Structure 1
Amino acid sequence: MAGANGGARPRLVPARMRPRDIFRVGGVGLRTRPLRAFLSALGIAIGIAAMVAVVGISSSSRAELDRMLDALGTNLLTVAPGNTMFGDAAQLPEESVAMIGRIGPVQQVSATGQLSDARVYRSDRIPEVESGGIAARAARLDLLDTVGATMASGTWLNGATARYPAVVLGATAAERLGLGSAGPDVQVYLGGRWFTVVGILAPVPLAPELDLSALIGWEAAATYLGFDGHPTTVYTRSAEQSVEAVQTVLGATANPEAPNEVKVSRPSDALEAQQATDEAFTGLLLGLGAVALLVGGVGVANTMVISVLERRAEIGLRRSLGATRGQVRTQFLAESLLLSALGGVGGVLIGIGVTSGYALSRDWPTVVPSWAMVGGVGATLLIGAFAGLYPAIRAARLAPTEALATP
């Protein structure tokens, strides 16, 4: 339409919304409905917190395993008797420990011999069937250093105590017997006679079978319990670069006449396998966290749809004052993203807190990968964008007259 002077009227161009304006109008719905916004953000936070905590605890566990293996070493190999070709239990020769010690790269070698007929009790009044599963084993004096064990109480066997009825209990064995410390007046009933408890071991990660054992000297086992001198487990430490080579010859060296009746293992591999199992379980927990995050996204979408329905009059007023559909769409999309971001940041902080608390309770290093934190917030923004897209488009499509006519 031409004006009075015959020229065209200038076209009104809506003002552009700056990022600060988008942030401000996007926060209007959150400020006016704080409880609803909190509950919706909480759904997102729970999902992110679960995912971050699972990843953090798994990473902390892995860091603790790495630290433990660095301290204990991965060069420990064990040799044990297998089975004969007829399925019977095999036996290692008495000379197997000495023969293994002659392998060049082998730095340390020690052994234990299980005493199958000896039972361990706190008192001689306890029924024979109630042994608590504690195994009696003959032990060589160099066992402690070879397996990397430490004493929790008392002392390890020495040249004197190894010849007399003295015993060192594993950590779990002592617990089952109700013993908290060793001493000259502390005794257990082992193999039909009393043995003095001279020491209690701390848990041995690379040789967990020792935790549930009562260890007596090699000579004492032969003197008092009829030990035949055949080792049942031989422990070796080798040069790090030669572990694989030593592992291939241990069977033939321990029992040259029947190397196929010898089992050779690497305890650190068992720990790695356990870690792999834990990681598989971690994958399951991550899946559950993702489901929780999806449920939180549905909650955000529901909140935004209700917000659009409740604020039709506001939308109509903004449109009648010149706001474009794009600006209305941007407003509600920004609100959804802000809501999700609050939940994401809160969830990351909660996840870090849970990881730290659990790691401290287990005396682990606290490790939360940066990718988990960044990915957690990024996932919430993605969920928020999808959750808010439909409500934002719906709000933008409302005609001003229709919106203002809404009661």
Structure 2
Amino acid sequence: MAAPARSRPPHPRPRPVPARMRAGDVLRVGAVGLRTRPLRAFLSALGIAIGIAAMIGVVGISSSSGAEVDRTLSALGTNLLTVSSGTTLMGEAARMPVEAEAMIERIGPVRAASAIGKIGDAKVYRSEEIPEAQTGGISTYAARLDLLSTVGATVHRGTWLNAATERYPAVVLGASAAQRLGVGAVGPDTQVVVGGIRFSVVGVLAPVPLAQELDAAALVGWPVAESRLAFDGHPTTLYTRSDESRLESVRAVLASTANPEAPNEADVSRPSDALAAKQATSQAFAGLLLGVGAVALLVGGVGVANTMVISVLERRAEIGLRRSLGATRGQIRLQFLAESLLLSAVGGAGGIVLGAGVSTGFAAYRGWPAVVPLWATGGGLAATLVIGALAGLYPAVRASRMSPTEALATP
């Protein structure tokens, strides 16, 4: 009798392989939450946008300010050195020799030299009716004719002193001095009182970045200062232009050349260093504002995280349905992570546009060159993506861990 045939066990059915989500699918699925809840998405993106706009705006304005300083230095030059009268060992005001300017001109690398001399007793008033105590902080200086070309100054209204007017009661006012005196027009009929004598205002200077002491000054000719204002002829500040390559060597000998008997009583400075220090101060303040922008960005990231957590709680039924239809945990994670990244990217793009617009508009208002560094915009966008990934990571993991039955049973 033949043995009965043995039954073979049925082959196990192969488990279905979940379909892989392409990039377009990820974007479409991730955008579902944004489309269905536009107001919430807008408010969350707004938090990110404010933080990025603050950072881009601070960097852009700071960079534009630095570009303006660089442009000013390029136009005025960084080879200007000044020698000023210091103080004696007894604390009294020192005096440079009358020949100091001529001695400095003998230094080989010095291309130009000029001088001003302060006339301490010559107070400046709009008229004789002004009380003596109300000087407005305006100082009177005797000035050489080549002063403007040496310091890089320009005349805003009127003319500069010449060989004729330097011998007569004619005065050129600095920018802030003219404003304090209320002088708007120039000419023979516009007069101010200098040292008790009426002087005609022949010109008004534009602000002088490298010689700011001239902004609050009344400048008269050297000869008329000696003949009418009892000026002693001693310069108080000397301005020199030197070869850029030999600037430091000139700087080393300026004090001893200007005042050979007491070099320690002469102060040598480089005005462009003050502008560079101002730029450094501005950058330090910008760093503080960047910190504020970073805090605002962090607050925006918390808003995104909160939105995503609420979205997961509200969409449990959707998560359960997708899991029942074969979606894997990884796909669920990817969906909510993509939604968080999209939300942050929208906010970051808006913040970049807003920050660049603010910095460009402010630079245009101040007359600065508009500079928005590429690294700032790229870094801002990268920061938003990092914030979005961190903000969406926990909600995405939480959504992926929901079982289909748990999610579908949730009311």
Give the alignment's TM-score, normalised by structure 1: 0.98
Is 2:374 the partner of 1:370? yes
Find out whether 1:406 has 2:403 as its counterpart: no
1:224, distance to aligned residue in structure 2 (A): 1.4
**Paired residues, number:** 404
Look up the match of 1:305.
309
Superimposed CA distance per residue, residues 177-215 of structure 1 (whole angstroms, 9 cap, x where no aligned partner): 112231221111111111100000011010011011110
Q: Which amino acid aligns with 1:282?
A: A
- Whether 2:33 is the aligned partner of 1:29: answer yes
Take 1:180 and 1:395, find their aligned partners in 2: how far apart are those partners?
A: 73
Look up the match of 1:70: 74
1:350 equivalent to 2:354? Answer yes
Looking at structure 2, the residues matched to 302 and 179 of structure 1 have their Cα atoms a distance apart, in angstroms, of 61
Give the drift of 1:86.
2.1
1:283 matched to 2:290? The reply is: no
Following superposition, the deviation at residue 303 of structure 1 comes to 0.6
Cα-Cα RMSD: 1.1
Give the Cα–Cα distance (whole angstroms) in 2 for the partners of residues 77 and 329 of structure 1. 66
1:167 aligns with 2:181: no
Partner of 1:295: 299
Shift of 1:321: 1.1
Deviations 1:208-258 (A, max 9, x none): 110111100111111111110111110000111111110000000001111
Question: Which position in structure 1 is the counterpart of 2:88?
Answer: 84
Q: Which residue of 1 aligns with 2:145?
A: 141
Superposition misfits of 4+ residues, deviation over 2 angstroms? none
Residue pairs, 1:225-304, within 5 angstroms = 225-304=229-308
2:376 maps to amino acid: A
Question: Aligned runs of 1:178-189 on 2, under 5 Å?
Answer: 178-189=182-193
3-state SS, counterpart of residue 184 of structure 1: strand
Indicate whether 1:176 and 2:215 are aligned. Answer: no
Q: Does 1:94 align with 2:98?
A: yes
After superposition, what is the alpha-carbon deviation per residue over 1:89-127, rounded to whole angstroms, capped at 9, x for unaligned? 211111100100111111110011111111111121111
Name the structure 1 match of 2:332.
328
> What's the counterpart of residue 221 of structure 1?
225
Measure, in 2, the Cα distance between the counterparts of 1:291 and 1:311: 30
Identity %: 71
Comparing 118-127 and 105-114, the one that deviates more: 118-127
C-alpha separation in 2, matches of 1:132 and 1:336:
61
Partner residue of 2:398? 394
Using the TM superposition, name which of 122-131 and 102-111 deviates more.
122-131
Could you tell me how far apart the structure 1 residues matched to 2:314 and 2:192 are?
A: 77
Query: What displacement does 1:390 show?
Result: 0.4
Specify the alignment match of 1:9 in structure 2. Answer: 13
Query: Secondary structure of the equivalent of 1:186?
Result: strand
| Amino acid in structure 2 at the alignment position of 1:304 | M
Quick check: 1:151 aligned with 2:155? yes
Matched AA of 1:209: E
Aligned to 1:40, which of 30, 39, 44?
A: 44
Q: Secondary structure of 1:175's match?
A: helix
Gaps of 5+ in 1: none
Q: CA deviation at 1:87?
A: 2.0
Deviation at 1:5, TM superposition (A): 8.3
Letter in 1 for 2:301: G
In structure 2, how many angstroms separate the alpha carbons of the residues matched to 1:97 and 1:201?
23
2:125 aligned with 1:125: no
**Residue 5 of structure 2 corresponds to residue 19 of structure 1:** no
Aligned equivalents of 2:161, 2:61: Cα separation in 1: 38
SS in 1 for 2:210: coil
Specify the code of the residue in structure 1 equivalent to 2:410.
T
1:386 partner SS: helix
The separation in 2 between residues aligned to 1:58 and 1:188, in whole angstroms, is: 41
Structure 2 partner of 1:50: 54
2:3 match:
none
